[in-house]
């Protein structure tokens, strides 16, 4: 059976479908959308097809992308409002300009003073409704330019804080390594949260891995790899893309 002919007929895609992708490490969300659009058009013969996602993931992040096609792209703004859940790691005692491993460490800090009590106070202060400044190395635009483009060009940028909600912030500590689970509102930057966490500890911190595991009611375990989408002969193609219409 040709999955795309049976499940993703041209008329169904145009009318609109929503399905889930597990974004690979190193891919931008834009690249995922482009690749899926090309593949669906190639398989169905459509000349035009709207495809979008409901919530950007950084290239160094993996996990759930909610993909919309056709008329369902009109639901993207509503879907972006869904609470997101992430797991990942951060390292204490050092910072980077990008707040993650995209850039090299620019400063190191003492960590010997960090106690469980200090960590718990930091978590409490970064829970609920908080103010957060987005990282300079992000896809947000300022004066028509992407922030990461301005940052890489060495331009001085002043960003205003934004209000976000952290409804859950749980950690497990192994020395300088912190494993975390975070539930948060739209617009939250986990990289900024990691950076602020280090500052609350009178030290530094930066993100070393990030994975989105949930968006609203949608779970990453119901998502499909890019390999299973674009490589029909892949041994990983155990199951086909699942529409959640």
Contact criterion met (CB below 8 Å) for 137 and 147: yes
For residues 207 and 7, give the distance between their C-alpha atoms in angstroms, rounded to a whole number.
39
- Annotated catalytic residue within 2, 22, 58, 78: 58
- HSE-CB of 126 using CA atoms within 13 angstroms: 27
Helix (H, G, I), strand (E, B) or coil at 60: coil
Tokens describing residue 4: 């795309």
For residues 94 and 201, give the distance between their C-alpha atoms in angstroms, rounded to a whole number.
12
Is residue 58 part of the annotated active site? The answer reads: yes
Please state, in angstroms and as integers, the Cα–Cα distance from residue 214 to each residue in 58, 74, 178, 189, 221, following that order.
16, 21, 20, 15, 9
Phi-psi label, residue 45: left if phi above 0, alpha if psi -120 to 50, beta otherwise = left
CA torsion 244→87→28→56, rounded to 10°?
60
Closest CA to 122 of 194, 71, 35: 194
Cβ atoms within 10 Å, residue 126? 18
Enzyme catalytic residues: 58
């Amino acid at each position: 059976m040709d999955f795309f002919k049976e499940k993703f007929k041209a008329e169904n895609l145009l009318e609109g479908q929503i399905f889930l992708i597990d974004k690979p490490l190193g891919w931008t969300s834009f690249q995922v959308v482009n690749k899926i659009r090309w593949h669906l058009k190639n398989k169905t013969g459509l000349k035009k097809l709207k495809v979008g996602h409901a919530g950007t993931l950084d290239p160094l992040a993996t996990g759930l992308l909610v993909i919309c096609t056709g008329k369902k792209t009109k639901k993207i703004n509503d879907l972006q409002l869904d609470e997101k859940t992430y797991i990942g790691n951060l390292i204490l005692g050092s910072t980077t300009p990008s707040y993650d491993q995209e850039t090299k460490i620019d400063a190191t800090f003492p960590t010997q003073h960090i106690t469980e009590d200090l960590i718990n106070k930091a978590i409490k202060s970064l829970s609920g409704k908080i103010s957060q400044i987005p990282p300079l190395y992000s896809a947000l635009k300022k004066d028509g330019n992407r922030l990461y483009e301005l940052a890489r060009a060495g331009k001085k940028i002043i960003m205003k804080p934004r209000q976000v909600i952290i409804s859950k912030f749980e950690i497990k500590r192994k020395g300088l390594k912190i494993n975390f689970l975070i539930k948060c509102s739209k617009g939250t930057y986990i990289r900024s949260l990691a950076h602020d966490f280090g500052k609350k500890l009178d030290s530094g911190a930066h993100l070393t891995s990030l994975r989105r595991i949930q968006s609203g009611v949608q779970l990453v375990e119901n998502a499909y790899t890019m390999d299973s989408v674009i490589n029909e002969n892949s041994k990983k193609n155990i199951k086909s893309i699942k529409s959640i219409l």
